[in-house]
Amino acid sequence: MKVVLFCGGLGMRIRADNQSAPKPMTTIGDRPILWHIMRYYAHFGHTEFILALGHGAKAVKDYFLHYEETASNDFVLSGGGRNVEMLGTDISDWKITFVDTGLHTPIGERLRRVRPYLEGDEVFLANYGDGVSDAPINEFIETLPADHVGSLLAVPPQDSFHVVNFDADGGMSGIGAVANMDMWINGGFFVLRQGIFDYLDEGEDLVTDACVRAAAAGRFTANRYYGFWACMDTLKERVYLDELHAKGNAPWEVWNADRTRLEPVLQP
């Protein structure tokens, strides 16, 4: 099943003043978060990727054109460095389509511009390109009702700020962490059918336009997920993910078969 990854964001809240690469190229460890997301999908058997490029498109292209398998795989070196025998591989079975979808294009329009590369695929996947999870994506796919054009992964908010409650007289009645409230946000993991394009017009956004219309028509759903999910919008969030990776406790690295993880919970 093909996976559309939106890779054109500026990432203004995380980038340094001299950074030209798009947010999906921000690294966790020594690999960009885009690579981590692609490894996640590949683990579940989805190895055909369509990268909807925008800002920093050249950085994404160059990264994969000059990809070094030795950076994340064991290998045997012989012949004074002339021969390299790989003992593992990351991307040898991947097929990646690079599509420049414009610098300031809304995500919905980016999706419309890669539609020609989705022909023949009634169902496909999509991802914002800045979040990671250990969600069992194939179970997520199976939950999509036959008459729906799409679904998204809904997760509890990860923000650390607190919400203040007021009583009828304007006095403070309580305070609590937003993450502990009965709230759900869009996690940026989508399962879509071709029918989503019936709700998406030129220049529009995927979520606030197409998904809202489809949901109003009873043809879009969300799956609440209680397992691990995290995005990388800010430097603080990047440091958090970097620390998990460095400690060998990165739940989204589902391709590491020897890691210990809790059984995830997916609820419609």
156 dihedral zone (left: phi>0; alpha: psi -120 to 50; beta): beta
The CB density around residue 240, as the number of other CB atoms within 10 Å, is 15
Reported confidence tier of residue 259, pLDDT bands at 50, 70, 90: very low
pLDDT for residue 268 is more than 50: no
User: What is the arithmetic mean of pLDDT over 238-245?
Assistant: 95
Using the predicted structure, report yes or no on whether residue 18 has a pLDDT greater than 90: no
Residue type, 184: W
Cβ partners under 8 Å of residue 98, min gap 6 = 51, 53, 57, 60, 61, 64
Model pLDDT for residues 20-56, shown as the tens digit of each residue? 678 899 999 999 999 999 999 999 999 999 999 999 9
Specify the pLDDT at position 173.
83
**pLDDT for residue 175:** 85
pLDDT at res. 27: 94
Percentages helix, strand, coil for the chain (3-state, rounded to 5) are 30, 30, 45
Chain centroid to Cα 76, Å, comes to: 33
Among 75-84, 160-169, 259-268, name the one with the lowest average pLDDT. 259-268
Q: What's residue 206's pLDDT? A: 97
CA distance 98 to 68: 19
11: confidence class by pLDDT, cuts 50, 70, 90: low
Residue 22 has a pLDDT of 84
Average pLDDT over residues 253-263: 63
pTM of the model: 0.88
SS3 27: strand
Residue bearing the bigger pLDDT, 257 or 205: 205
**pLDDT score for 13:** 52
The answer on pLDDT for 164 being more than 90 is no
- Select from 165, 132, 135 the least CA-distant residue to 151: 135
Whether the per-residue pLDDT at 258 is higher than 60: the answer is: no
63-96 pLDDT, tens digit each: 999 998 888 889 899 988 889 898 888 888 999 9
pLDDT at residue 186 above 50? Answer: yes
- Which domains are present in the chain? 2-74+84-259 (3.90.550.10)
% of the chain at pLDDT higher than 90: 68
